Structure 1
């Protein structure tokens, strides 16, 4: 099977799955916990500016998370959950 044919097959399977059809696709559900961003940042010992910069978000975004106006989602939520478990990740891996 060519790469093109494999891609078309995969896309057709994705479309069928999205329509609710049985496709044989394996679905993995991963639960990422809700995070307390202010607590996580405090554990790192960083200021709001430094923490926002270290995880690649605007300070305004961080403020919205800390004040509960918004919740981090997707990769940001996963990164924050990882930092919550090991606050030293910021200094070890995300150092600028």
Structure 2
């Protein structure tokens, strides 16, 4: 039973990738275009390692984002935007 659902899903995925109509629901989520990680972190008065530890990032990711070597991708940009707006909500969610 479960294997047939997986097979059906795989066939739909291949058809979708080919541009065929497969009758599945598609959801598009807009993420912030960019975030200023350093400004967010400094606004909270945290070092890179403190910021990383409190919000579940690696220190190297924070460093690379701030130096422009890499850029946060979709989910990380969303989380960073929430931290910018209301860091206590994120802290509370992570401590639950």
Question: For 1:11-26, what aligned pairs fall within 5 Å after superposition?
Answer: 11-26=10-25
| Structure having greater relative contact order (Cα 8 Å, sep ≥ 6) | 1
Whether contact under 8 Å (1:40, 1:87) holds in the other structure is: no
Runs of 5+ consecutive residues of structure 1 not aligned to the other structure:
none
Deviations 1:22-42 (A, max 9, x none): 111221111110211112212
Q: For the residues of structure 1 that align with 2:40 and 2:89, how far apart are their CA atoms?
A: 11
Q: What CA RMSD, in Å, does the superposition of the two structures yield over aligned residues?
A: 1.8
TM-score normalised to the size of structure 2? 0.80
Q: For the residues of structure 1 that align with 2:74 and 2:82, how far apart are their CA atoms?
A: 13
Task: Report the alpha carbon displacement of residue 8 of structure 1 after superposing the two structures with TM.
Answer: 1.2
Runs of 5+ consecutive residues of structure 2 not aligned to the other structure:
none
Aligned to 1:50: 50
Whether contact under 8 Å (2:41, 2:48) holds in the other structure is: yes
Q: For the residues of structure 1 that align with 2:89 and 2:48, how far apart are their CA atoms?
A: 16
TM-score normalised to the size of structure 1? 0.80
